[in-house]
Amino acid sequence: MATYVYLSLIPEALVASMLAPDDFGLYYAIGSAKRSRGQALFFSVDRDKLDPKEFPLEKIDAECVPHPDGSPKLSVYLSIYRVLERVPRDALVALHLATDDGRVLTLKPEAFEPDGEKRAHLYQEFCPVTPRVVSRLHPGEFAEFITDTAKSVHIPRLVYAELTLGNLKNNADHPDIDNLPYPNIGHLRDCLRELAFGPEKATKTVLRQMTQEVLYRTIRNGFFVADADGITSFPLPSRDALEREHLAWWRSAQSTFGH
């Protein structure tokens, strides 16, 4: 049986498992029996690129072995604290998005290319911190801004996604915000206004932390992993591709209640 190493973002942990990504997503989302459920985001990690001094990699071969009855070992936790910053960006070979009933969509890394559209951005950070912020910076600039070691406030490495702002992206007062499922839209508008009328401000926090699951339908473009050396993009397939090629995941993603 093959052994896999995953970097989970909710909660942050490095885990070895004998389950392939789809099965691991299912297990992580709903448990080994149907008693719990919850969204899961995790990366497949190339173990050869991990630093053995940072993680007890020997535990993988020693402990991640089949049970006496032949069933696969579900999980062996290798680390649970400040994990992301110790996993090299190029070791993250795929991002897996598990819905709360365990359907898994796998995203492959690509080089980031800004789309060139001038607009306000809404970012949801997933790891290691989880605020939601609005910003005038595009994902690449935001990555530089947040990982700039010259600043007193910075993060060594960050996983985040851009969320759709709909009609608010260019007009904080636009009346048509029908399909935006965010709580307290009034506060979001205030934050966007502050950004628009205060050119000195690059970002503004909307929510201090993520309290509920993110609706995948609100993800715009995809996910990003950024550090001081650059940014890797994990783009979400187009709506048509999701409907056509990943229907089971997409239907499940839409049935989630979130924020």
Partner 1 sequence: MPAWFWLVPVASIAALGAAYGFFRAMMKESEGTETMARIAAHVRAGAIAYLKQQYKVVGTVLVSLTLVFCVLAYVLHMQNPWVPFAFLTGGLFSGLAGFIGMRTATYASARTANAARDSLNHGLRVAFRSGAVMGLTVVGLGLLDIAIWFLVLTRFYGTDDAHQVVVITTTMLTFGMGAAVQSLFARVGGGIFTKAADVGADLVGKIEAGIPEDDPRNPATIADNVGDNVGDVAGMGADLYESYVGVILASAALGAAAYASHGADVQLKAVIAPMVIGALGTILSVVGVFFVRTGEKATQKQLLGSLARGVNGAALLIGVLSIFVMWAMGLDNMWGLWLALLVGLLTGITIGQAAEYFTSQGYAPTKRIADASKTGPATVIIGGVGEGMMSVAIPVLAVVTGTGLAYFFGSHFEFSVGTMSMGLYGIGMAAVGMLSTLGITLATDAYGPIADNAGGNAEMSGLPPEVRERTDALDSLGNTTAATGKGFAIGSAALTGIALLASYLEEVKIGISHVLERGDAYTFPDGFSIASNAMDQLEGLNLMDMMTHYEVVLINPKVIIGMFLGAMLAFVFSGITMKAVGRAAGQMVDEVRRQFREMPGIMSGTEDPDYARCVSISTRAAQREMMVPSILAIAAPVLVGLIFGVPGVLGLLAGAAVAGFSLSMFMANAGGAWDNAKKYIEEGHHGGKGSESHKAAVIGDTVGDPFKDTSGPGLNILVKLMSMEAIVVAGVTVAVHLV
C-beta closer to partner 1: residue 26 or 92: 26
Nearer to partner 1, 47 or 259 (CB): 259
Q: Give least dist CB 258 to partner 1, A.
A: 5
Q: Which is nearer to partner 1, 49 or 239 (CB)?
A: 239
Take residue 104 and report the two structure tokens written for it.
Answer: 């898994």
Cα separation, 92 vs 233, in Å, equals 11
Residue 190: strand, helix, or coil: helix
Shortest distance, position 7 Cβ to partner 1, whole Å? 23
Cα(139)–Cα(46) distance, integer angstroms: 25
Q: Report d(CA 191, CA 206) in Å as an integer.
A: 7
**The tokens of 138 are what?**
């595009």
10 Å CB burial of residue 47 (0-12, 13-18, 19+) is middle
Complex with partner 1: residue 36 or 205, whichever CB lies closer: 36
Q: Least Å distance between CB 245 and partner 1?
A: 10
In the complex, the residues that contact partner 1 under the rule CB under 8 A are 23, 26, 30, 32-35, 37, 99-102, 178-183, 215, 217, 240, 243-244, 247-248, 251-252, 254-259
In the complex with partner 1, the residue whose CB is nearer, 143 or 253, is 253
Distance between alpha carbon 56 and the CA centroid of its chain, in Å?
A: 25
For residue 172, the minimal CB distance to partner 1 (Å) is 17
Q: How far is the CB of 26 from partner 1 (least distance, A)?
A: 5
- Nearest residue (CB) to partner 1, 149 versus 255: 255
In the sheet where 203-207 sits, what is the strand order?
110-111, 230-235, 219-227, 157-163, 121-127, 132-135, 203-207
CB-based contact 14:87 (threshold 8 Å): yes
Residue 87 CB, nearest distance to partner 1 (Å)? 28
Tokens read off for 186: 């009034």
